[in-house]
Amino acid sequence: MKRRTFLTALPGAALAAPALRKAAAQPAPTRTETLLLVQEYGPNSLDMQGLGSSQPVNGVSLNCYDRLVRFKRKALPDGTMSFDINGLEPELAESWQIASDGMSCTFKLREDARFHSKRPVTAKDVKWSLDRAVSIGGFATTQMAAGSMEKPEQFVAVDDKTFRLDFARRDKLTMPDMAVTIPFIFDSETAIANSGGDPWAKDYLKNNVAGGGAFKVEAWRPGTETIYVRNDDWKNGPMPTLRRVIARDIPSPSTRRALIERGDADISYGLPPKDFDDLAKGGKINVVGVPIPNAIWYVALNSANPPFNNVKLRQAVAWAVPYEKIMQAALFGRGKPMWGGSLPVTSIAWPQPFPYETNIDKAKALMAESGVAPFSTTLLFDAGSGTIAEPMAVLVKESLAQIGITVEISKIPGANFRGELNKKTAPMVINRFGGWLDWPDYFFFWNYHGRNSIFNVASYQNPGMDKLIDAARFAETPADYAASVKGFLEYGMQEVPMIPICQPLHDVAMQKNIGGYQFWPCREPDFRFLTKA
């Protein structure tokens, strides 16, 4: 099938044409203004602050909404654009000023910023949006708390174009946390008018965008496609060159690869590592692989419930995991190994290898020390990450059988995976986590802190660990920070509620005429910078 034929045949193409023809001043997007993205699965909601939102909903937030600030862009050694965790630049705010006492920040909003509804953006919209983020619960509220944004009283609309954030405490994460995808700004009047009495308009915003970002959602067909069109009135950054983006959900990786190889699709995420490796070696497709900061693939063991509340058993599993086999068979070498390290910890770098490797004899000995008899258990993974997680699960199952653990594998649909994890009942989970703010204490806060019920997949509780994580977050000297980080790293290595496998690459396959690729912490495509020659 030729590329032009394929684009015309897409379900959204025919639906969009009449709407586009209505605007006489706006001719239909040309081929160079239209991007076709093929992905494993798309958003299960249009509201990233909503409970149970899947990973791709970050892309809706990124492209359809604005934040007060965004991270500055920087080039990696190979020329790929990434982000500067220590640098911020304007988005909705044209300027900001930290108070002399260091306990607040005042933002001046752009005078010309408008929502998709044509309403001007006001400080009241900012306050309503951030009030919502800290109150709605789930991931959004926990993410805000990671930057010490905890209650609505911290957010003050001074006047229509002036907004103040009052800091709960001096926290190095507060300002960077304003640049991730969660604290985005809603058109509050539109949301409230359609709320049906719900103070946070959850049902309406799950199914509708009420933002002012560079793109609008023209059509959303869950499980099939999401179609974005450019907001030609956007004033909060350089106008994108793309006018239309079709994000097509295609579960089959072989089909996605074929579409890319034939030139019928422009860009794809989430292919198996072998496919990325093959495409890179073939030379016809541009493959970009960015090491994901603060990220690991891991196996989590539910340390709150028997039998994995036994630390000797968790250590036995850590010695039984077939690390090298996983790296080659599931990841094809596209990642940094996280095994073979040592204790005591001498570096505060994260990720860093844990002091385990595949040693079945050690695993059997620790299994015996644990006093746990051979047993059967269940291992969950996200079907949306199945190209890597499924072969990983099979290899773990085969290896643990050697020490008397029988594993049943359970594949959970991507849209349901986070909800399944929130039940806290899964004995074993294969997962990938990437911390948006690149500090070790941030990663450990999300994954190991007892207060965090969202991403603490292992349900790990250790007051000593919590104390060290909190101390690192608010350390006053580099020496204090290093001591706390080394302390919680050693806890993690010794008690292994999570067994790291590798630090992954974020791989993207693109046609040679696609430029402007930008890597952000949320790992979703930014249509604002992509170009098509």
pLDDT digits 0-9 by tens, 359-413: 999 999 999 999 999 999 999 999 978 888 999 999 999 999 999 999 999 999 9
Query: Where do the domains of the chain lie, and which CATH numbers do they carry?
Result: 3-250+511-532 (3.40.190.10), 295-505 (3.10.105.10)
pLDDT at 25: 56
Measuring CA to CA, how many Å separate 101 from each of 11, 116, 170, 364? 56, 37, 10, 58
* Pairing assessment for the beta strands 405-412 and 375-382 based on DSSP bridges: parallel
* 181 touches 64 (CB < 8 A): no
**pLDDT of the residue at 453:** 72
On average, the pLDDT of the chain sits at: 93
Quick: pLDDT tens for 17-29: 334 344 445 688 9
Residues 331-345: pLDDT tens digits? 998 899 999 999 999
Q: Could you read off the pLDDT of 174-209 as tens digits, one per residue?
A: 999 999 999 999 999 999 999 999 999 999 999 999
pLDDT at 406: 98
Higher pLDDT, 135 or 414: 135
Under DSSP, the state recorded for 524 is -
d(CA 310, CA 246): 49
Contact assessment for residue 164 and residue 104, using Cβ atoms and an 8 Å cutoff: yes
Distance CA 210, CA 2 (A): 36
pLDDT of residue 269: 87
Helix (H) or strand (E) holding 205: helix 202-207
Can you give the pLDDT at residue 19?
40
Render pLDDT for 224-244 as a digit per residue (tens, 0 to 9): 999 999 999 999 999 999 999
At 414 the pLDDT is 82
Distances (CA, A) of 234 to 27, 71, 114: 18, 19, 7
What band does 257 get if pLDDT is binned at 50, 70 and 90?
A: very high
Strand 69-75 vs strand 244-249: parallel, antiparallel, or unpaired?
unpaired
> What 3-state class would DSSP assign to 193?
helix
